[in-house]
Amino acid sequence: MNALEIVNVSLPGRLHAVDLRLKQGTLVGLIGPNGSGKSTLLQVAAGLLPTGEGSLSWQGRDFKGIGFAERGRMTAWVPQEARFEFGFSVRSVIGQGRYAHGDDGRGIEAVLERLDLQDLALRPVNQLSGGERQRVLIARALATEAPLQLWDEPLAALDVRHALEVLMLANELKDAGSTLLLSLHDLRLAHCLDSVAVMHAGRLRAFGPPAEVLTPELLREVFGVRARTAPGLLLELS
């Protein structure tokens, strides 16, 4: 059974017949140039945008037949950025991830520690830096304990140390059976992933293991760069 199935989804001017199926317990990177449809596809996968002509299912179940509370237990969404108009504490924002479980607060201390947020727990979230807020959003997703994690550019605002920690966390979640779909810009991180899904002009251009998918020909076509391996992925302007 697949953890996520996006079948033949089209949205006018944004997505064109996208078909993507992810197995349970995998870490998948969604990559592509700016404006290629990555964020749109993630929002479809999270049930935040309509599927148009296609369909969406989580763990073999049609999304439309899943109630709101159960959706909150099945999937977690990390937006590319979030505005916090009110000064809720970091701890209370992370606690929002437990609402679908009856707001029991279970595991919040462990999540604070895992994301290096203990010293910020009582700080108003709207007073944090961009990178700190991003870690809070990831912590909130982690608190859901959802088996399907959908993260939009989770590393964009993070320093090197915290970006590596988040990648380690993603792999730990995968090893524990969760399925993760993350949009990324840095192709040099592809070796950390099980698979990559390459978006280009609203279409799924390729999907599979990074070593097989990220060929010099595809990178030239999609990103307009030349690629060499020596031994890592080196990119140059075409």
| 161-201 tens-digit pLDDT | 999 999 999 999 999 999 999 999 888 888 899 999 999 99
Residues 89, 124 contacting (CB under 8 angstroms): yes
Q: Which residue range is the domain that position 160 belongs to?
A: 2-237
pLDDT at 231: 54
The predicted-structure confidence for 192-230, as pLDDT tens digits, reads as follows: 999 999 999 999 999 999 989 998 899 999 998 887 655
CA distances from 228 to 209, 217, 220, 233 (A): 17, 11, 11, 6
Residues 63, 47 contacting (CB under 8 angstroms): yes
> Which domain CATH number covers 153?
3.40.50.300
Our count of domains for the chain comes to: 1
- Assigned token pair, 157: 């605002």
For 174, phi then psi, to 5°, come to -60, -45
pLDDT at 172: 95
Amino acid identity of residue 58, one-letter, is W
Q: Among 149, 177, 172, 181, which Cα is nearest to 75's?
A: 149
Q: Among 162, 154, 210, which Cα is nearest to 182's?
A: 154
Listed as ranges, residues in the chain with pLDDT below 70 are 228-238
pLDDT at 101: 86
pTM for the whole structure: 0.92
Give the largest Cα separation in the chain, rounded: 54
Straight-line distance from the first to the last Cα atom of the chain, in angstroms, rounded to the nearest whole number:
41
pLDDT at 237: 54
